[in-house]
């Protein structure tokens, strides 16, 4: 069962023997509890790596011809699991999304700094006072993430675009969900995850507002964390279970007849 923010706040206030409220803004304490629920929610998101918060998205283009291989991670994106780029060319204009390998910064720099800058197919750009080398005649194959925000690629095709384009990127990763401090807001969690949110928030509210622990809520929270780790992914069907079982034949032997008759 899912609960609105107001219902979560009312439940926590009731546990604290506090005044009843009809809105999260009715009292200073109810507003504080709402903020605690919000904080707890984002703590759970950061820790749990929930699959329902993973989405497809595009990178933001630099839009600057002087920074043709630079793109930006959108603010709502917490992490990038994989990245593709549409590598169609002038000669083959059909869509061709291929994976771009994300490298650690050191490995990416070691690789790109081997490029010969006297080669007309090699250019440079400057970002945060650092020079990056890249090729200008082919779609990207590698990239790295700088300062957890900037995505730098190893190449682009100047015959196709003046810079790498946002609509040619296809990414997948963890999106930071929205949390609205309004009564009717329902946090983006599965039904079975709401007890975890409630008990985590209840424990934090008792600690911050009452300077005391709520051991039953803490115990239930620990139990819910264990449950979450088991249930956050949808079960994957085992198609092997649908196949005939040839492992055992009549008479108790574990070998099929064609093997025993050889």
What's the pLDDT at 229? 61
What's the pLDDT at 95? 87
Alpha-carbon gap, residue 21 to 30, rounded angstroms = 7
Alpha-carbon gap, residue 82 to 97, rounded angstroms = 12
Residue 250 pLDDT greater than 60, yes or no: no
Residue 63 pLDDT greater than 50, yes or no: yes
CB 7 within 8 A of CB 20: no
Alpha-carbon gap, residue 71 to 168, rounded angstroms = 12
Residue 215 pLDDT greater than 80, yes or no: no
Question: pLDDT tens, 93-109?
Answer: 788 999 999 999 999 99
Alpha-carbon gap, residue 22 to 164, rounded angstroms = 51
Alpha-carbon gap, residue 39 to 202, rounded angstroms = 12
Query: Comparing C-alpha atoms, which of 164, 172, 128 is closest to residue 147?
Result: 128
Percentage of residues in the chain having pLDDT higher than 70: 82
Query: Comparing C-alpha atoms, which of 28, 38, 27, 5 is closest to residue 182?
Result: 5
Q: How many CB atoms lie within 10 A of CB 14?
A: 10
DSSP secondary structure string for all residues of 59-103: PEE---TTSTTEEE--TTEEEEEEEEEE---SS--S--EEE-EE-
Instruction: Output 190 or 40, whichever has higher pLDDT.
Output: 40
What's the pLDDT at 257? 44
Whole-structure pTM value: 0.71
**Interacting residues of 251 by C-beta distance below 8 A, sequence separation 6+:** none
Q: What is each CA distance from 72 to 60, 75, 210, in whole angstroms? A: 5, 9, 43
Alpha-carbon gap, residue 37 to 165, rounded angstroms = 39
Question: pLDDT tens, 114-152?
Answer: 999 999 999 999 998 899 999 999 999 999 999 989 999
What's the pLDDT at 218? 67
pLDDT category of residue 82 using cuts at 50, 70 and 90: very high
Instruction: Output 111 or 53, whichever has higher pLDDT.
Output: 111
Alpha-carbon gap, residue 173 to 55, rounded angstroms = 6
Question: pLDDT tens, 224-244?
Answer: 666 656 655 544 444 444 444
What's the pLDDT at 93? 75
């Amino acid at each position: 069962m899912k609960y609105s923010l107001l219902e979560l706040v009312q439940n926590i206030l009731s546990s604290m023997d506090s005044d009843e409220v009809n809105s999260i803004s009715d009292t200073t304490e109810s507003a504080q509890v709402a903020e605690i629920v919000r904080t707890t929610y984002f703590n759970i998101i950061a820790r749990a790596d929930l699959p329902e918060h993973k989405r497809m998205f595009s990178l933001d283009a630099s839009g600057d011809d002087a920074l043709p291989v630079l793109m930006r991670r959108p603010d709502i994106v917490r992490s990038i699991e994989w990245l593709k780029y549409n590598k169609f060319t002038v000669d083959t204009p059909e869509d061709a999304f291929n994976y771009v390998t994300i490298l650690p910064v050191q490995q990416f720099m070691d690789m790109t700094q081997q490029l010969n800058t006297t080669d007309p197919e090699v250019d440079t750009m400057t970002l945060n006072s650092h020079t990056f080398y890249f090729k200008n005649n082919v779609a990207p194959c590698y990239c790295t993430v700088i300062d957890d925000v900037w995505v730098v690629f190893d190449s682009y095709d100047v015959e196709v675009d003046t810079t790498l384009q946002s609509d040619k990127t296809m990414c997948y990763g963890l999106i930071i969900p929205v949390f609205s401090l309004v009564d009717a807001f329902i946090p983006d969690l599965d039904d079975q995850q709401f007890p975890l949110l409630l008990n985590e928030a209840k424990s934090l509210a008792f600690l911050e507002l009452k300077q005391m622990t709520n051991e039953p809520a803490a115990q239930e929270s620990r139990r819910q964390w264990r449950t979450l780790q088991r249930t956050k992914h949808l079960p994957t069907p085992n198609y092997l279970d649908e196949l005939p079982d040839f492992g055992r034949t009549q008479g108790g032997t574990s070998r099929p007849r064609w093997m025993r008759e050889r």
